[in-house]
């Protein structure tokens, strides 16, 4: 009777060690429950080992039950981990899709804003040309002015060697590093002129110099060739 009770009680506790954690615990907790159940069973076996040695000894059936229980616990734990990882993957995939959708919306909005800005820039340049407003212009405005005014004289104020390495299409080289008077010798007050340098330091001086000598139809490209290339606009060499 004692042996039957002990074997039945062992099987019941083994079953609880599998089912109870599976209802509410994670895979790692499931292993800890199972290990604790095995430890408790071993303590009981040691406790009654002297007086009930024959009754408490695990026979072949109990060993088989223990092996099956271990296998079930491992299978259930692995299944729980796979389910957890699968749910996490689904959640991360949903978040990624949401972020990708948001990125696409922002990208579309950026394109619309860029298109609107380009339209406003073109309207502003048309207004400048209509009102004959001169002075400092951005590289985008300079490009639009060059497209709308084929007669525009584009002047590169850098050294000739720098001009040869790369310059705006249709530009002429008039180096102002030695003397600003070269501008007066090669340009007419009636010309519409666009000045640029490597940056805008020397071209700004050239603009002021020409204005002082009666040249009023002069543009200066802010940022020079550095800003032009940074904007992705082409240059020619030779």
* Residue range 70-120, pLDDT digits in tens: 667 777 777 778 878 778 888 888 888 888 888 888 888 888 887 777 788
At residue 51, the pLDDT reads: 42
The two structure tokens encoding residue 38: 């095995």
In angstroms, the CA 146 to CA 32 distance is 78
The share of the chain scoring above pLDDT 70, in percent, equals 69
CATH of segment(s) 134-230 = 3.40.250.10
Which residue from 191, 198, 193, 137 is spatially nearest to 163, judged by alpha carbons? Answer: 198
At residue 159, the pLDDT reads: 94
Q: Which residue has the higher pLDDT, 184 or 62?
A: 184
Which residue from 197, 201, 205, 204 is spatially nearest to 226, judged by alpha carbons? Answer: 197
pLDDT band at 202 (very low <50, low <70, confident <90, very high): very high
Quickly count helices (H) and strands (E) in the chain.
Answer: 9, 5
* Residue range 4-41, pLDDT digits in tens: 334 445 544 454 454 444 444 444 554 555 555 555 55
Q: In the chain, which ranges are E strands?
A: 135-137, 153-156, 172-173, 193-196, 218-221
154 near 186, Cβ under 8 Å?
no
For the chain, the structural domain boundaries read 2-97, 134-230
pLDDT band at 43 (very low <50, low <70, confident <90, very high): low
At residue 70, the pLDDT reads: 66
At residue 91, the pLDDT reads: 83
At residue 55, the pLDDT reads: 44
pLDDT band at 155 (very low <50, low <70, confident <90, very high): very high
């Amino acid at each position: 009777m004692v042996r039957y009770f002990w074997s039945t009680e062992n099987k019941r506790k083994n079953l609880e060690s599998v089912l109870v954690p599976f209802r509410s615990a994670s895979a790692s907790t499931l292993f800890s429950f199972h290990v604790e159940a095995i430890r408790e069973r071993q303590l009981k076996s040691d406790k009654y080992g002297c007086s009930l040695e024959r009754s408490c000894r695990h026979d072949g059936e109990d060993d088989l039950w223990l092996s099956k229980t271990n296998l079930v616990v491992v299978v259930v734990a692995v299944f729980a981990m796979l389910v957890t990882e699968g749910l996490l993957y689904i959640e991360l995939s949903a978040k990624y899709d949401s972020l990708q959708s948001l990125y696409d919306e922002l990208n579309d909005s950026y394109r619309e804003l860029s298109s609107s800005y380009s339209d406003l820039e073109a309207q502003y340049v048309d207004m400048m040309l209509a009102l004959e407003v001169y002075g400092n212009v951005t590289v985008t405005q300079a490009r639009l002015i060059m497209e709308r005014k084929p007669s525009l004289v584009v002047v590169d104020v850098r050294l000739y060697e720098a001009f040869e390495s790369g310059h705006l299409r249709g530009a002429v080289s008039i180096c102002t590093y030695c003397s600003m008077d070269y501008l007066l010798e090669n340009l007419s007050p009636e010309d519409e002129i666009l000045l640029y340098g490597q940056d805008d330091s020397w071209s700004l001086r050239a603009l002021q110099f020409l204005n002082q000598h009666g040249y009023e139809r002069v543009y200066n490209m802010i940022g020079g060739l550095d800003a032009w290339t940074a904007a992705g606009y082409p240059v020619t060499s030779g």
